[in-house]
């Protein structure tokens, strides 16, 4: 039985658990993965870029070079008006108003992006090392260990650092000392998507998605599970069919909590009503979603971007002209929705209609991490080639 090595940078590719060697039908699994991989010779081709008939103005506010990401997803972070970024070679950067403030080498390769607040900057490695540095100077503060590779940026809030490891564990550390407070663990499935979403803090809880379509809230104080929601239900005849993992971070707005699952659904919960399901609809995504006061936006696994009514899940618009372009999760930018793609283009879509408004090209390399909205209203993207850029549109 021939087993193919597949690129790890595609978060929707399915990776085997320890029981993979015992599975039958590997040719079927390989064929399915080829169909999902746009870089495979048999995979779907990227849609050509659509022309923007009435293009609005857009511009790069600043751009800096950082190192490449290789086969990992690196997301930058903003804290206290400064931007922090990292790369695969282990370089960690701080920028202020687009200018380099400091740069250090952490001493080992990194495997995920940056978590930060005004005091501390935290990164992770494929060996499970959690490394913390002073935000103002880059001075090393502490080092901790988790049980597996770190594929998502740590989340820093208050005096806590939450880290999701690749083996279905969620860790909480003290942000000042690195002391481990607790660990929450779920069993590993036979097959899972080789990607994890960063944890999300929500008052007294930490929210995280897991395989099997589960979204979990654990108590910030002690790591005990407080609530579990079913974003999607695994279904199908084979283990591959039954993969339904929540690998994108959930979003929370005004008591409404929403998440999306690969080979699953978008589901929104009312946390004021004990986590009752408000609505759910079939959209598969390992990319992610965004919420604002009225709408929910999501990018599906083919690169189609949807605008949905936040309260009902009803369709408002569908933008399918970026199909197979490796489109990122969306972010809200004023009257626009911003996504980036596999050729380094940043697209501004109308929030109300989904029509193309503007477009900016970066260095031409793929953007894997979702664009991030900065405190000054701009949007920040980091390409796999190391172009870190703040963009905006009028």
Q: For the segment 247-276, what is each residue's pLDDT rounded down to a tens digit?
A: 999 999 989 999 999 999 999 999 999 999
pLDDT at 194: 86
pLDDT at 50: 87
pLDDT at 1: 29
For residues 187 and 319, what is the distance between their CA atoms, to the nearest angstrom?
Answer: 37
Mean pLDDT confidence for 129-157: 98
DSSP 150: -
pLDDT at 237: 85
- Least confident span in 9-23, 116-130, 261-275: 9-23
DSSP 49: P
Q: Collapse the DSSP code of 183 into the 3-class scheme (helix H, G, I; strand E, B; otherwise coil) and give the result.
A: strand
Q: What CATH architecture is 62-185?
A: Beta Barrel (2.40)
Tokens of 162: 């939450």
Mean pLDDT confidence for 368-375: 96
Q: Which residues, 6 or more positions from 362, have their beta carbon under 8 angstroms from its beta carbon?
A: 63, 340, 344, 345, 346, 381, 383, 387, 389
pLDDT in tens, 34-73: 444 544 445 689 999 988 876 677 899 999 999 999 999 9
- Nearest residue to 359 (alpha-carbon basis) of 38, 60, 48: 60
Entry pTM: 0.90
Mean pLDDT confidence for 157-184: 97
pLDDT at 6: 33
pLDDT at 245: 94
pLDDT of residue 347 exceeding 50:
yes
Q: Which residues, 6 or more positions from 54, have their beta carbon under 8 angstroms from its beta carbon?
A: none
User: Which of left, alpha, beta for 384 (phi over 0: left; psi -120 to 50: alpha)?
Assistant: alpha
DSSP code string of 371-388: PEE-TTS-EEEE-TTSEE
pLDDT in tens, 180-228: 999 999 998 888 888 889 999 999 999 999 999 999 999 999 999 999 9
Where are the alpha helices (H) located in the chain, listed in sequence order? Answer: 26-36
pLDDT band at 10 (very low <50, low <70, confident <90, very high): very low
pLDDT at 239: 87
For residues 47 and 34, what is the distance between their CA atoms, to the nearest angstrom?
Answer: 18
Domain locations in the chain?
62-185
- Nearest residue to 155 (alpha-carbon basis) of 115, 204, 126: 115
- Nearest residue to 143 (alpha-carbon basis) of 173, 168, 118: 173
pLDDT band at 23 (very low <50, low <70, confident <90, very high): very low
In the numeric block, the tokens 């949007």 are attached to: 379
pLDDT at 173: 98
pLDDT at 26: 38
pLDDT in tens, 138-150: 999 999 999 999 9
b/e per residue, 221-244, with b = 16+ CB within 10 A? eebeeebebbbbebeeeebbebbb
Q: Collapse the DSSP code of 103 into the 3-class scheme (helix H, G, I; strand E, B; otherwise coil) and give the result.
A: strand
DSSP 26: H
Tokens of 316: 């408002």
Q: How many residues does the chain have?
A: 394
pLDDT at 235: 87
Mean pLDDT confidence for 167-175: 97
Q: Which residues, 6 or more positions from 43, have their beta carbon under 8 angstroms from its beta carbon?
A: 34, 35, 36, 37
Q: Is the dihedral of CA 293, 298, 268, 251 positive or negative?
A: negative
As a whole number, the mean pLDDT across the chain is 89
Centroid of chain to Cα 238 = 27
pLDDT of residue 31 exceeding 80:
no
Share of the chain above pLDDT 90, in %: 79
């Amino acid at each position: 039985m021939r087993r193919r090595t597949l690129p790890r940078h595609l978060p929707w590719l399915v990776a085997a658990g320890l029981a993979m060697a015992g599975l039958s039908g590997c040719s079927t699994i390989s064929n399915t993965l080829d169909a999902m991989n746009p870089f495979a010779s048999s995979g779907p081709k990227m849609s050509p870029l659509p022309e923007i008939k009435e293009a609005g103005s857009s511009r790069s506010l600043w751009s800096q070079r950082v190192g490449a990401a290789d086969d990992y997803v690196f997301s930058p972070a903003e804290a206290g008006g400064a931007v922090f970024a990292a790369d695969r070679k282990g370089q960690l950067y701080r920028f202020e108003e687009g200018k380099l403030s400091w740069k250090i080498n952490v001493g080992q390769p990194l495997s995920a992006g940056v978590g930060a607040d005004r005091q501390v900057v935290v990164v992770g490695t494929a060996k499970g090392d959690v490394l913390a540095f002073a935000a103002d100077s880059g001075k090393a503060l502490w080092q901790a260990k988790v049980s597996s590779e770190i594929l998502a940026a740590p989340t820093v809030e208050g005096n806590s650092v939450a880290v999701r490891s690749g083996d279905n564990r969620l860790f909480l550390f003290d942000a000042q000392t690195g002391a481990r407070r607790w660990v929450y663990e779920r069993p590993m499935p036979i097959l899972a998507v080789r990607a994890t979403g960063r944890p999300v803090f929500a008052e007294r809880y930490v929210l995280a998605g897991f395989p099997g379509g589960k979204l979990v809230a654990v108590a910030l104080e002690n790591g005990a599970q407080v609530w579990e929601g079913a974003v999607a239900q695994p279904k199908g005849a084979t283990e591959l069919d039954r993969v339904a993992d929540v690998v994108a971070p959930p979003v929370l707005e005004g008591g409404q909590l929403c998440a999306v699952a690969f080979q699953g659904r978008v589901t929104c919960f009312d946390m004021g009503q004990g986590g009752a399901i408000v609505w759910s609809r079939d959209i598969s995504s390992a990319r992610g979603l965004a919420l604002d006061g009225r709408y929910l936006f999501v990018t599906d696994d083919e690169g189609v971007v949807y605008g949905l009514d936040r309260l009902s899940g009803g369709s408002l618009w569908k933008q399918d002209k970026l199909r197979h372009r490796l489109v990122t999760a969306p972010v809200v930018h004023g009257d626009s929705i911003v996504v980036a793609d596999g050729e380094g283009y940043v697209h501004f879509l109308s929030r109300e209609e989904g029509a193309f408004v503007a477009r900016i090209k970066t260095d031409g390399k793929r953007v894997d991490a979702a664009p991030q909205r900065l405190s000054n209203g701009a949007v920040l993207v980091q390409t796999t080639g190391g172009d870190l850029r703040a963009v905006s549109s009028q």
